[in-house]
């Protein structure tokens, strides 16, 4: 395609990745952001092999590993100490593969620098309220009543609350409290994402996100947030430590409610991911609960697929059709999987947890269960990376780079986790 004038609404993971790819391809890219200074929202996240493939294509994989924490496996236990969530990357047919725990700010910084370094223009303090299209192109309408210049294409990366898609419900009852804390040390394993469950109504987790840092999260119904604030931090500390006594070291660091941020989740899919000179990416197209840890990875895949479709066509309408074709099947599959797997891990009902503990967990240990679990968690089911023109990164090289920068005690713990898995 000729060099197009492209507007990207939103300065999140999907928007920044798309800006980098398109600017590097020679397009004129303008990022519109409502904040005076763009900043990420949230704490930790997991970069799966699908997301790492995109970061590798952006030449950012090694830098991301340097800022994050390789995770060998996911492990969740119920109140009886039984393992009810197990997924090990060693079960993938990828030597030395791992997930990457990383702070959202670290990933944001890498992508932000890459986008500006590629030549994308950044326009801040412009809150987007809508978009219009006519023969001159597509414009963005801002909260102050002004409009952007006409663009050849608008990419909607405004996330869950995007005003550029039809308003929809789909809010999930549960969200989560998040905080970033210093690494609590033993008995926590720096190579594991660990969780503890009381049925499916209460859950606490710890995710390593860098050397010396971890993301702490606590499942909470949105309608109980005010009650949580009223009860105070002492009661919260007791509740967490009753479920997982080892969290005492974490809770000693969390003394004020303002140290935690509540994240609300929704499960919805925009019916039309593209329109006349507009494409939706990431949560603006498909939002889901974080149970399978796919949000950032799906956003990266959307950005890559859209950039590939644009550069592979000399017609914008055909390019948008190609983008849908590249991503729709994978999006539909993971929207269904996430919807299916959310109740066994976040629900007030008793039966989903019983199903998880008595049937789902034992059955998943029987071959081909372990590889299937790893494939689903890795985001690789139906991803068809070859069709996207993506290749999985050189994990042995990335693992070597990670080990070179890690302490001996951390590497010993990671090696032990891989052996046990």
| Cα–Cα dist 286/268, whole Å | 6
- The 3-state DSSP class for residue 154 equals strand
Per-residue pLDDT at 28? 97
**Residues contacting 376, CB < 8 A, separation 6+:** 87, 292, 337
Q: Are the C-beta atoms of residues 124 and 38 closer than 8 Å to each other?
A: yes
Burial readout 222-255 (b: 16 or more C-beta within 10 A, e: otherwise): beeeeebeeeebeebbebbbebbeebebbbeebe
- Work out the mean pLDDT of the chain and round it to a whole number: 94
| Cα–Cα dist 19/31, whole Å | 7
Per-residue pLDDT at 419? 44
Per-residue pLDDT at 421? 39
Beta-strand relationship, 153-156 and 137-142: unpaired
Domains of the chain: 1-38+124-169+267-342 (3.50.50.60), 42-103+171-266+349-421 (3.30.9.30)
For the question of whether the overall pTM of this predicted structure is more than 0.85, the answer is: yes
Q: Determine the longest span between alpha carbons in the chain, in angstroms.
A: 64
Per-residue pLDDT at 410? 53
- Name the burial class of residue 315, with classes exposed (0-12), middle (13-18) and buried (19+) by CB atoms within 10 angstroms of its CB: exposed
For residue 38, pLDDT over 90 is answered with: no
Name the pLDDT band for 37 (thresholds 50, 70, 90): confident
For residue 330, pLDDT over 90 is answered with: yes
Segment 121-158, tens digit of pLDDT = 999 999 999 999 999 999 999 999 999 999 999 999 99
DSSP string covering 78-107? -TTS-EEEEEEGGGSSSTT--EEEEEHHHH
């Amino acid at each position: 395609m000729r060099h197009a004038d492209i507007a990207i609404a939103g300065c999140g993971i999907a928007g920044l990745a798309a800006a980098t790819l398109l600017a590097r391809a020679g397009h004129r890219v303008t990022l519109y952001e409502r904040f005076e200074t763009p900043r990420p929202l949230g704490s930790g996240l997991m970069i799966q092999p699908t997301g790492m493939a995109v970061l590798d294509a952006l030449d950012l994989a090694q830098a991301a590993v340097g800022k994050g924490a390789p995770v060998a496996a996911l492990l969740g236990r119920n109140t009886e100490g039984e393992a009810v969530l197990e997924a090990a990357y060693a079960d993938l047919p990828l030597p030395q593969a791992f997930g990457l725990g990383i702070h959202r700010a670290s990933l944001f910084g890498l992508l932000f620098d890459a986008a500006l370094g590629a030549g994308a223009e950044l326009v801040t303090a412009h809150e987007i309220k809508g978009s219009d299209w006519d023969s001159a192109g597509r414009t963005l309408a801002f909260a102050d009543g002004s409009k952007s210049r006409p663009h050849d294409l608008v990419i909607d990366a405004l996330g869950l609350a995007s005003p550029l898609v039809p308003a929809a419900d789909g809010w999930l009852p549960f969200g989560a409290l998040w905080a970033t804390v210093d690494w609590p040390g033993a008995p926590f394993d720096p190579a594991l994402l660990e969780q503890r469950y009381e049925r499916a109504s209460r859950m606490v987790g710890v995710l390593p996100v860098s050397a010396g840092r971890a993301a702490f999260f606590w499942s909470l119904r949105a309608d109980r947030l005010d009650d949580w604030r009223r009860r105070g931090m002492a009661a919260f500390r007791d509740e967490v430590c009753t479920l997982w006594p080892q969290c005492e070291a974490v809770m000693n660091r969390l003394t004020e409610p303002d140290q935690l941020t509540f994240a609300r989740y929704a499960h919805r899919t925009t019916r039309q991911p593209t329109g006349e000179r507009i494409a939706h990416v990431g949560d603006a197209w498909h939002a889901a609960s974080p149970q399978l840890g796919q949000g950032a990875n799906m956003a990266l895949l959307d950005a890559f697929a859209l950039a590939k479709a644009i550069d592979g066509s000399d017609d914008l309408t055909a390019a948008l059709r190609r983008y849908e074709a590249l991503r729709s099947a994978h999006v539909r599959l993971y929207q269904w999987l996430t919807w299916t797997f959310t109740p066994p891990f976040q629900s007030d009902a008793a039966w989903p947890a019983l199903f998880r503990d008595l049937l789902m967990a034992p059955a998943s240990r029987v071959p081909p269960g372990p590889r299937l679990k790893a494939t689903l968690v890795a985001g690789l089911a139906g991803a068809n990376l070859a069709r996207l023109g993506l290749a999985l990164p050189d994990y042995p090289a990335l693992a070597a780079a990670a080990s070179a920068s890690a302490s001996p005690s951390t590497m010993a713990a990671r090696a032990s986790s891989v052996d046990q898995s």
